[in-house]
Amino acid sequence: MPLTDPRPLLLANARLIDPEAGTDRPGGLFIEAGIIRDAGPHLTREAVPEGTEVIDCRGLVVAPGLVDMRCFVGEPGFEYRETIASASEAAAAGGVTTLVCQPATDPVIDDPALVDFLLRRARDTGIVRVHTMAAITKKLAGREMTEFGLLKAAGAVAFTDGARSVSDTLVMRRAMTYARDFDALIVHHTEDPDLVGEGVMNEGEFSTRLGLVGVPVEAEAIMLERDMRLVKLTGARYHAASITCRDSLAIIARAKTEGLPVTAGVTINHLTLNENDIGSYRTFCKVTPPLRTEDDRLALADALADGVIDVVVSDHDPQDVETKRLPFAEAAPGAVGIETMLPAALRLVHAGQLSLIQLLKALSTHPARLLGLPGGSLAAGGPADLVVIDVDEPWVLDRDTLKSKCKNSPFDEARLTGRVVKTLVAGRLVHG
């Protein structure tokens, strides 16, 4: 657990954005013992107790810290790709105050003892709040369910098989029924593995010109449609981990209209990039599910603004040089993204596709509420997990400056506008 700064602190002269309350106003924010005590225009240097540390925010945005609910951390087993220490440093640099690990480690997080190990390790080495999801099936094999009740009691915040889909429909039905009984959230990667086959990018004209095997959007839509029917059958709470195409959006919208307990997420990669960014076989843009067409990307942005999509995630997946400096078809999928999630997402705000409040809801409030975690608000009494943002600062990403152990960023050398200036966890400065 990150340390609490015992000193009272005032973030003065700020633009306070509370996505949960839907407010955007000037003022100050007062922190004491790691808790937000008050916020508003009345909070100036003269209005706080003597001895309070004051940070002049110079009109910069102060908002709740981001909650990233899809992040690969290499402990245990893949420490050469990422550790809790390096991932939390990267998170702090990206304004992420809570990160949620995926269970695809070695061994897989499918046992309560492993949940306990990871949470203890996070308390010892992390500088942000770290939680973990547990596996839906043992060893992510898609055959035998894990013990949801024991795993949830140990601290697992949701259940997922990471980047693998549970293709056996009977197993998925049983998992949803079991999850419903424990009020547990199922987070599912929706890709039919048989339709994906040997595919490495979006199926279409561009994949044909590059001579690469494509993945049709139907691989996602068919699996998602199946899951919606199982949600209707079981009543389980369900979150689609990564929606990438217009067809899937229609399925999610229909399920929400029917009142099903369904939410959906989108990765920052699919929200801001398309298949053309692969260019001349750029392996840093090889992700799973693959980047889709520009029409799909625009539809995703519209769906985020309309509330069809609830959450934006980094899908942070560090890969080392040996797995990326290969021919495109042979390279491992995955991209680092926890440090660039917010600056990349601000492209949509600057383009007028959605408001800053809408974006911050998807990056903080909605994932916090979905997982039952504190944060995502500037309300008094909440944890002082905060980010200070200069939304207009232009900069160019140099991957060598990334805090992550791996540097496989699809935004390498990209021009970005908007940057995290400071990050606070429990009132303690962890970045800036």
Annotated active-site positions, please? 315
List alpha helices for 157-245, DSSP H.
169-181, 193-196, 205-210, 218-234
Question: What's the DSSP call for residue 351?
Answer: T
CA distance 75 to 259: 38
Residue type at 208 in one-letter notation: T
CA distance 290 to 269: 9
CA distance 213 to 100: 32
Cβ 11 vs Cβ 62: under 8 Å: yes
> Residue 330 burial (CB < 10 Å; 0-12/13-18/19+)?
exposed
Q: What are phi and psi of 62, to 5 degrees?
A: -115, 125
CA distance 225 to 125: 41
CA distance 163 to 141: 12
CA distance 51 to 42: 18
CA distance 64 to 297: 26
3 state SS of 320: coil
CA-closest candidate to residue 430, choices 130, 132, 131, 126: 126
| Strand 185-188 with 237-240, pairing | parallel
CA 283 to chain centre: 21
3 state SS of 23: strand
Burial letters for 14-32: b for 16+ Cβ neighbours within 10 Å, e otherwise? bbbbbbbeeebeebbbbbb
Cβ 226 vs Cβ 176: under 8 Å: no
CA-closest candidate to residue 35, choices 430, 378, 383: 383
Structural tokens at position 335? 């991209």
For residue 30, the cross-strand partners are: 10, 38
CA distance 98 to 75: 17
